[in-house]
């Protein structure tokens, strides 16, 4: 499987491939995507090498926080994802608790904050396509970001119409 070199987590392509396979199993699955707020600011303030240490530390924390069998990935520069069957825990909260702990990197105290999007899906024959599920979770992240850093949102169908309306508006403005 393709691994992200920095964190040891699955890369985007491998995450989606593993998620696709997992979604064939019956049961409720939850996909949580977390966007690390202010990564660009961290890169500017600390330099890329130190900012990479922050990402690596967050990857380790993510791996330690979730039960075995959870699918974990770094699916974008500042984006982490988890697909799991939430039995007895709330995945978005577990992710936030694990990753929003202060870090000390090269003498600097870093206080990571995350913007989180989540979507649930029923697995089995009629399960949604994994890439589509990731897209929905990322839409939820965008919706959460509109409420400010550190927010969270669950995917809802209304997010689709918002996105389509924005696309239509952008087309009109260009036209």
**Statement: the pTM of the whole predicted model exceeds 0.85:** yes
Tell me, what's the pLDDT at 25? 96
Average pLDDT score, the chain: 92
Residue with tokens 């929905």: 136
Tens of pLDDT along 80-99?
A: 999 999 999 999 999 999 99
Q: Is the pLDDT of residue 168 over 90?
A: no
| Of 171 and 129, the one with more pLDDT | 129
% the chain with pLDDT above 70: 94
- Whether residue 172 is predicted with pLDDT greater than 90 in this model: the reply is no
Q: Which residues pair with 41 in a beta bridge?
A: none
């Amino acid at each position: 499987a393709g691994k992200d070199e920095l964190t040891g987590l699955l890369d985007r392509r491998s995450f989606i491939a593993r998620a696709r396979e997992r979604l064939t199993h019956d049961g409720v699955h939850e996909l949580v995507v977390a966007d690390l707020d202010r990564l660009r600011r961290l890169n500017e303030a600390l330099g890329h090498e130190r900012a990479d240490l922050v990402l690596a530390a967050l990857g380790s924390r993510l791996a330690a926080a979730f039960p075995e069998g959870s699918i974990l990935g770094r699916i974008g520069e500042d984006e982490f994802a988890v697909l799991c069957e939430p039995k007895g825990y709330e995945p978005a909260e577990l992710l936030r608790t694990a990753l929003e702990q202060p870090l000390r990197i090269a003498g600097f105290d870093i206080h990571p904050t995350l913007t989180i999007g989540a979507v649930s899906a029923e697995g089995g024959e009629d399960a949604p396509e994994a890439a589509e599920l990731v897209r929905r979770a990322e839409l939820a992240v965008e919706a959460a970001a509109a409420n400010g850093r550190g927010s969270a949102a669950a995917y809802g169908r209304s997010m689709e119409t918002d996105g389509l309306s924005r696309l239509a508006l952008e087309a009109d403005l260009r036209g």
